[in-house]
A = this chain, B = another copy of it.
Amino acid sequence: MPSKYEELGVDVSKKGVEFLKKITDDMFPEAFCSIVKDPLNPEWGIILHTDGAGTKPVVSYLYYRETGDVRFFETLVEDIVAMNVDDAACVGGLPIAFSDYVAINPFKLSKQDLLNSLAKGFSKTFSKLRDYGINILFSGGETADLSDIVRTFDISGTVLARVELSRVITGRNISPGDIIIGLRSGGKARYEERENSGIMCNGITLARHCLLSNEYLKKYPEISSEETKGYYGRFKIDSFIDELSMTVGEAILSPTRIYLPIIIEILREIRVKAMVHNTGGGLTKCLKLGRNIKYVKDNLPEPDPIFKLIQNESGEDWRNMYQNFNMGVGLEIVVEKGDEERIINISEKFGVSAQIIGRCEKSSEGNSLTIISKYGKFNYN
C-alpha cells in the first residue's frame, strides 16, 4: 500500500537516481555525498552539491498571496543553503562558493519581490555565517521565466565545498559499539532569530496537503497538480496552534537549521566516524552509510509537535513518518563510545539540544535500522 506521502507523488526511495549515481566520478561512493578529485590540488577533493527547498516555495507563495508578506521568500535562502552546506559538511567539506537557480511563473508573482527578498536572504545568511568564520562567496545564479513549466516558482542551489582527502568522512569505519548522537531540528539555536518547528525541507508535500484548507486550492489552483487530489487540512495558513506556539504557516515555513557552525567546532575537536543530515529519507538516511551495520535508535527524543500534528491530521503510519520526516533529529553524528559527551556539550553551547539516540550493532547482511519508539518498533533496510 502506498504511503500517504507516495500518494502525493513523492518517492522517498528515489527510484531512478541510481542511473545518475552510477556515472558520477565519485572518489568515495560510500560517503554521504559525492566528492570528485581536484585537478589543481591533488590533496583535496571537490564537493559540487545541488539541492532544493522541496515544495516550501508553494507555501511561501501562498503566504505571500494571502498576506502580502515576503518574509518567507527570504528564509527560503536559509533552506537551500542548509540543504547544501550541511550535506557537504557530512563528508567534512567546507563551503567556498554558492550559486542559486530560480524558475518562476511571472504571471503569478512579482519576480522583483521574489528576487529582492532572496537577495536580502543571501546577504543575511552569509553575513551570519561569517560571524562564525565561515566565508561563502556568492557567485549569483540563474533566474528563468518558465510559466509553462512551473506553476508558481521553484528554487535550488549549488554549493562548492572542499575537503582534504586525508580528512574525508566516509562512514567506512563505523563499527559495532559506536554511539549515535542526534542534534535537534526544532527550537532555537543561539545564532537563530526565531523558534523553529523543526520540519526542515522534507515531507513538505504531505504537511501542506494534510494541514492546509482546500479553500486555498479553490482560490489558487496553481498550488497543486490535478493528480494530488486537493488539500484536506483543517487549518488556515495563519491559524495559531497552541502546541506549536506558532501559526501553521510559520511551522511549515520554519527555515532548515544550518548546523555548520556547530559541525565545524565538532570537527575541530573530535574525529567523528560519520555524519548524517536527515533530509530525504528522514531517520532512515543513515542506511546509506557504513558496512553491515545495524543501527538501533531506541532513545529518540519526543517528536516535535509539528510531526505529531501531521501524523494526526494525515493518518500516515508512524513507520512512514520516520521515513518521511526528520522527526525532530536534523543531524546524526556517529562517534566512538566516549566521545558522546563532548559532542553534546558543543551542540548545547550553541543552544541546540543533543542526546544519545542509539548505537551501532553488527548486521549479518547489509545495513539495517531498528527504531524503537513509543509509537512502535520499526525495521528498515
Contact = CB atoms under 8 A, between A and B. Distances in A.
Interface string A121-164: 01100000000000101111111111111111110101010100
A225 B148 contact: yes
A318 interface: no
Q: In which size bucket is the chain A interface?
A: 35 or more
15 contacts: A9-B147, A17-B115, A23-B119, A25-B138, A26-B140, A34-B140, A46-B160, A51-B142, A52-B101, A52-B144, A101-B101, A101-B156, A107-B225, A146-B154, A149-B150
A103 to B, nearest CB: 5
A227 B147 contact: yes
A96 interface: yes
Interface string A105-128: 111001110111011001100000
A54 interface: yes
B9 A143 contact: no
Q: How many copies of this chain?
A: 2
Given A112-B19, A141-B50, A149-B151, A36 B97 contact: yes
A142 B19 contact: no
A16 interface: yes
B10 A49 contact: no
Contacts of A138: 23-25, 36
Contacts of A248: none
A83 to B, nearest CB: 9
Given A97-B36, A101-B101, A149-B154, A50 B142 contact: yes
A138 B98 CA distance: 18
A151 B151 contact: yes
Interface in A172-226: 205, 208, 223-225
